[in-house]
Structure 1
């Protein structure tokens, strides 16, 4: 069977660093549909569409027994982010792209006994210094939000519902709403890292 292999370069600037712009930067609130399935037969992954039904992102993991190295690609198969998981007691997932954006996602173990939610912190760069934690995921079951360091909402992911009847789809079909002036390729990178840690890919 023919396989689609990722290309190890990206023509877009998906960095969140200062002085760099991104072709994925939102000018208004945008909605995406995440289908936690690969379009490639017998492959794990996910497929992401915009509000017009156009394919935007995809993840295809041909080795269903291993997700130690996963790629987030655009519709042309060009790599936007590469992800690697660390094993051990405190699991984490590292993501990086060709423009220099690097982050590590790991669970925040500061547990509040009164809270039913869990949180994950995004540490920018290669340092393990918690001061560099600029973003966080707050999870409440299937719903989770991505916030910046000041608590500003950047994106929300929820189960997708039908616009007409309010009918819910399966748990593998999600809606991601990204706020204005946010790089949605970077947000998608955080979502993929989170899904890997949650064993959803």
Structure 2
């Protein structure tokens, strides 16, 4: 059987206490495995492992009939981001919050040109305490088939997500197992929040 995560165990003692904030930014490129399945029986969600096989993020939606609000948690169940669907809008969008006041909205960009097969989504980010639109930051998701990239406002690559293949024989592990590569000096918890919002818009979570 091909393993989804590279290690033998789900939980590894990282030396981080439950009430401490783990380090989400590193100086090197980080690789993650996203399994679009919840560890909760009959629940919807996803499970995320780092390159050593440690469980690092999870989404568990106990009410599988409703996904208007979703929480991205760490391995201890601490909520990192809360995602809420924006209702009464023509096109589906999601707003994402955390406890420090960070807020961003993900919505689709619509282009006129039919020749470009790619699709893009805009991420507008600002502090909940800042009502000045001039202080907004903008990021973009560009989708090319089964691969999508997250870029900052200047076009710099922040992360890339694609289908995961087995390290042994290169077999495709299926559409619900993904590899996420996060560039150095990028907060991968923030990237994970974007990926979850994007998956919700695409009805893959």
Instruction: Pick the TM interval, shorter chain.
Output: 0.7 to 0.9
Alpha-carbon distance between aligned partners in 1 of 2:42 and 2:24, rounded to the nearest angstrom:
30
Query: How far is the alpha carbon of 1:200 from its aligned partner?
Result: 1.1
Q: Which runs of 5+ in 1 are unaligned?
A: 1-9, 13-21
Q: Which runs of 5+ in 2 are unaligned?
A: 1-18
Question: Normalized against structure 1, the TM-score is what?
Answer: 0.86
Question: Normalized against structure 2, the TM-score is what?
Answer: 0.84
Name the residue aligned to 1:64.
64
RMSD: 2.0
Query: How far is the alpha carbon of 1:27 from its aligned partner?
Result: 1.2
Query: How far is the alpha carbon of 1:26 from its aligned partner?
Result: 2.0
Name the residue aligned to 1:144.
148
Query: How far is the alpha carbon of 1:130 from its aligned partner?
Result: 9.1
Name the residue aligned to 2:95.
94
Name the residue aligned to 2:111.
110
Alpha-carbon distance between aligned partners in 2 of 1:34 and 1:130, rounded to the nearest angstrom:
34
Q: Give the paired residue count.
A: 184
Q: 1:111 to 1:26 in 2, by over 3 A?
A: farther
Name the residue aligned to 2:3.
none
Within 5 A, what are the aligned runs for 1:125-164? 125=126, 132-164=136-168
Higher relative contact order (CA 8 A, sep 6+): 1
Q: Is the 8 A contact 1:93 1:193 kept in 2?
A: yes
Query: How far is the alpha carbon of 1:112 from its aligned partner?
Result: 2.6
